[in-house]
């Protein structure tokens, strides 16, 4: 009698369940064949020793033929089990690939939701999130941080004269240079057009911020090679420091923006927020 399959509580696809059921059935059939073959061997051995009646030998040979037929069925069933398992493996590999593709697409969408497609920098949404984190941390630990509003001077002239492809090349080059001027914990963001925001964490005084602003002004002004053409832009930077120049993201960005226009008008490169001006 075939043994009933024990339920393990595991769930699987219908094809896998079928293959496992067939495998268990083949196992039971092989065990039965082994028992019957042992009986045949016992009879034939007895014939050699005791010269059993011809009828017993004939029955043993018939049983042997039956066992041979059963073994052939087991081989065929086993081939079918292997085919079903191969199909299941193929189906699972396809499912894993779809899951990997979906995860990669989700990761890509998350990246695009928080990064500028032209430069790869953080976009305004990510910058807003970072500055809110900075506000919470700085308030809790009584630490200062700075917001830099950066605008490229006369960038529109490059787009008009050389096209948007050249403008994008300039933006990408400037983005790389900006990131090289700040630390890993700082955030550089492109918020649109030729405007950037930079969040400098845990600054000690104006001198620290001025050092970084000077580096940005200096590196931004370096030549941007474009084939045989050499392009050049300069940057104007406005600076607001928490909590001195504002205690909200809106106030800090607004004050850094107004300081940037003052720096641009005076040609100073960068300017700290001064409420009296």
Question: Is residue 226 exposed (0-12), middle (13-18) or buried (19+ Cβ within 10 Å)?
Answer: middle
Strand locations in the chain (E): 145-153, 187-192, 195-200, 224-226, 229-231, 234-242, 270-272
Measured between alpha carbons, how far is 160 from 156 in angstroms, rounded to an integer? Answer: 6
Report which of 83, 67, 64, 61 is spatially closest to residue 29, judged by C-alpha positions: 67
> What are the CB-based long-range contacts (under 8 Å, 24+) for 176-181?
177/216, 177/219, 177/220, 177/222, 178/121, 178/150, 178/216, 178/219, 178/220, 179/121, 180/219, 181/212, 181/215, 181/216, 181/219
Measured between alpha carbons, how far is 189 from 197 in angstroms, rounded to an integer? Answer: 5
- Is 194 among the residues known to form the active site? yes
Q: Which CATH class is domain 124-272?
A: alpha beta
pLDDT by position in tens, the chain (length 277) = 444 444 444 456 676 566 667 667 767 666 676 666 666 666 555 554 455 565 655 666 666 666 667 667 766 777 776 777 777 777 778 777 777 777 777 877 788 889 999 999 999 999 999 999 999 999 999 999 999 999 999 899 999 999 999 999 999 999 999 999 999 999 999 999 999 999 999 999 999 999 999 999 999 999 999 888 899 999 999 999 999 999 999 999 999 999 999 999 998 899 999 988 7
pTM over 0.85: no
Task: List all residues 6 or more positions away from 256 whose beta carbon is below 8 Å from its beta carbon.
Answer: 147, 148, 149, 197, 238, 239, 240, 245, 273
Active-site option among 168, 194, 245, 257: 194
């Amino acid at each position: 009698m075939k043994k009933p399959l024990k339920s393990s509580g595991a769930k699987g696809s219908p094809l896998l369940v079928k293959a496992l059921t067939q495998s268990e059935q083949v196992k039971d059939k092989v065990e039965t064949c082994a028992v019957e073959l042992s009986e045949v061997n016992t009879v034939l051995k007895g014939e050699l020793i005791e010269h059993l009646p011809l009828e017993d030998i004939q029955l043993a040979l018939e049983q042997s033929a039956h066992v041979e037929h059963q073994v052939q069925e087991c081989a065929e069933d086993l081939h079918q089990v292997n085919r079903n398992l191969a199909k299941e493996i193929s189906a699972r590999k396809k499912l894993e690939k779809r899951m990997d593709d979906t995860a990669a697409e989700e990761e890509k969408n998350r990246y695009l939701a928080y990064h500028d497609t032209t430069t790869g920098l953080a976009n305004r949404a990510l910058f807003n999130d970072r500055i809110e984190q900075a506000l919470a941390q700085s308030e809790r630990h009584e630490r200062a941080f700075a917001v830099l509003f950066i605008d490229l001077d006369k960038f529109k002239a490059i787009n008009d004269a050389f096209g948007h492809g050249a403008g994008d090349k300039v933006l990408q080059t400037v983005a790389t240079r900006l990131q090289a001027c700040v630390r890993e914990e700082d955030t550089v963001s492109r918020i649109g057009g030729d405007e950037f925001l930079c969040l400098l964490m845990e600054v000690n005084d104006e001198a620290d911020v001025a050092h970084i602003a000077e580096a940005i002004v200096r590196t931004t002004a370096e030549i941007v090679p474009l084939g045989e053409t050499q392009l050049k832009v300069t940057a104007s930077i406005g600076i607001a420091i928490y909590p001195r120049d504002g205690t909200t993201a809106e106030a800090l960005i607004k004050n850094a923006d107004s300081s940037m226009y003052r720096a641009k008008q005076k040609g100073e490169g960068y300017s700290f927020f001064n409420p009296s001006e």
